[in-house]
Amino acid sequence: MKKPKIVDKKWLVIAIIIVVLVVFSLMEEQKNVSARSMVLAMSVDLKDDEYEVGIQLLRTDIKDKQEFITYSTTGANLTEIFEKLSHDTGGTVSLCHTLVVILGKDLLTKDNDKAMRFFIENEELCNNTMIVASKDSPLEALSAKLSNGQGGGYYIGNMLRGIVTDLGVIPITIKDYIKNRYHIGNCVYLPCVSVEKSGDTTYVNVKESLVTNGYKYAILSENATKGLSLTLNKLKGGELSYDFDNTMGRVDIVKSSADIKVQSDEANVKIKAQLNDRAYVPEKIDEKRSVEELQKNVKSYVEECFKACQEQGLDVFYLGQRAYAQGKDFYEKSDFLDNMQLKVVVDITMK
């Protein structure tokens, strides 16, 4: 008599494998997605040698309404903190969908990257999670309730995606952060968030940048931030402005590129940009004059950025790394950055 196919040896083996796996997976304590607290945004800071961590979640159980809830706690150890937060939220805290992490200045300058290493080595965050610095308390920025009903953290996370073109600020992922940290000079630059209140309305502002080497930091103004973005080849769109006879002209950036060459006492930055004047051109100004104004402005942005960082000993243009790549060792001198002269050449063409 012919055996039915199901008892054929091959199927038997497959059936055993399935049974074993299903039985064992049932025995293993696995958290269902609904039993997880999906973090959308997070803030981390140092307060009196303890971490202060805030997480922002979206409540989905209210019909036709989005409610962002922020939980926060403090502790000496991040693992313990997340356990506490899991307890508070009623679900295992999951960071894999976190859009943004807002870091406090103290964490960036006093923690020696312990918290950041925790996130990277444990692969807690997605590689594309954005990192921003906060001018004030990061928890305040995270929990800010905006007029559109969104939570501050969630709003920042979404806003950061198009930030280069709109504001001239370079968005930084956790990948970029750690990569820059390993450069000679250990300098990292991050968009800097500030919260402003006007009556009942709360604004979140991300136009500045914070540069730090893990000990010292400098906050770059909006213009210096644009200078940084242009020099590091990150500004491929957005607008530049100039003043002429008390009126302001605006041009769109079509494309831009930068080249940095470093010698023992001199760094040469050459910025080449193609702009178009469709945005706004004041009357009584010719193209040559507007180009001159723009060249002057861009040069001053770059110089402002370099000077602000040089004063704090921050090698924001990675001159040390560039010297190392050329096989030179003058970057090892302690006064290498102090004696560095910056020469900026801006070449603008109008389209």
Choose, by CB under 8 A, the member of 11, 15, 21, 243 that binds other proteins.
21
CA distances to 18, 20, 94, 112, 133 from 11, in Å: 10, 14, 38, 56, 57
Number of residues that bind other proteins (CB under 8 A): 33
Supply 104's token pair.
């406090």
> By CB under 8 A, is residue 77 in contact with other proteins?
no
Taking the least distance from each CB to other proteins, the nearer of 16 and 248 is 16
Nearest approach, Cβ of 44 to other proteins (angstroms)?
A: 18
CA distance 304 to 339: 16
Residue 97 has a CB neighbour count (10 Å cut-off) of 12
Choose, by CB under 8 A, the member of 1, 5, 7, 25 that binds other proteins.
25
Nearest approach, Cβ of 13 to other proteins (angstroms)?
A: 6
Nearest approach, Cβ of 21 to other proteins (angstroms)?
A: 5
> By CB under 8 A, is residue 127 in contact with other proteins?
yes
> By CB under 8 A, is residue 322 in contact with other proteins?
yes
Supply 76's token pair.
């000496």
Write b or e for each residue in 35-56: b if 16 or more Cβ atoms lie within 10 A of its Cβ, otherwise e: ebbbbbbbbbbbeeeebbbbbb
Choose, by CB under 8 A, the member of 3, 6, 30, 283 that binds other proteins.
30
Choose, by CB under 8 A, the member of 1, 283, 327, 335 that binds other proteins.
327
Under a CB-based contact definition with an 8 Å cutoff, are residues 63 and 31 in contact? no
Backbone angles phi, psi at 87, to 5 degrees: -65, -45
Q: In a 10 Å sphere around its CB, with 0-12 CB exposed, 13-18 middle and 19+ buried, how is residue 28 labelled?
A: exposed
> By CB under 8 A, is residue 4 in contact with other proteins?
no
> By CB under 8 A, is residue 97 in contact with other proteins?
yes
Supply 38's token pair.
């999906």
Taking the least distance from each CB to other proteins, the nearer of 117 and 307 is 117
Taking the least distance from each CB to other proteins, the nearer of 161 and 343 is 161
In sequence order, the β-bridge partners of residue 68 are 58
Taking the least distance from each CB to other proteins, the nearer of 47 and 179 is 179
> By CB under 8 A, is residue 326 in contact with other proteins?
yes
> By CB under 8 A, is residue 292 in contact with other proteins?
no
Interaction with other proteins in 129-188: which residues (CB under 8 A)? 161, 175, 178-179, 181-183
> By CB under 8 A, is residue 33 in contact with other proteins?
no
Choose, by CB under 8 A, the member of 8, 15, 31, 349 that binds other proteins.
31
Taking the least distance from each CB to other proteins, the nearer of 1 and 26 is 26
> By CB under 8 A, is residue 324 in contact with other proteins?
yes
Nearest approach, Cβ of 260 to other proteins (angstroms)?
A: 10
Given the rule CB under 8 A, which of 79-87, 263-271, 272-280, 325-333 is the region that contacts other proteins?
Answer: 325-333
Show the CA angle centred on residue 233, arms to residues 236 and 291, nearest 5°: 65
CA distance 148 to 143: 14
CA distance 209 to 105: 12
One-letter amino acid for residue 258 of the chain:
A
Pick from 323, 299, 191: nearest CA to 242: 299
Given the rule CB under 8 A, which of 20-28, 201-209, 302-310, 343-351 is the region that contacts other proteins?
Answer: 20-28
Could you say which DSSP state residue 209 is in? Answer: E
**Three-state secondary structure call for residue 221:** coil
- Name the site residues for other proteins (rule: CB under 8 A): 13, 16-17, 20-21, 24-25, 28, 30-31, 94, 96-97, 117, 120-121, 123, 126-128, 161, 175, 178-179, 181-183, 321-322, 324-327
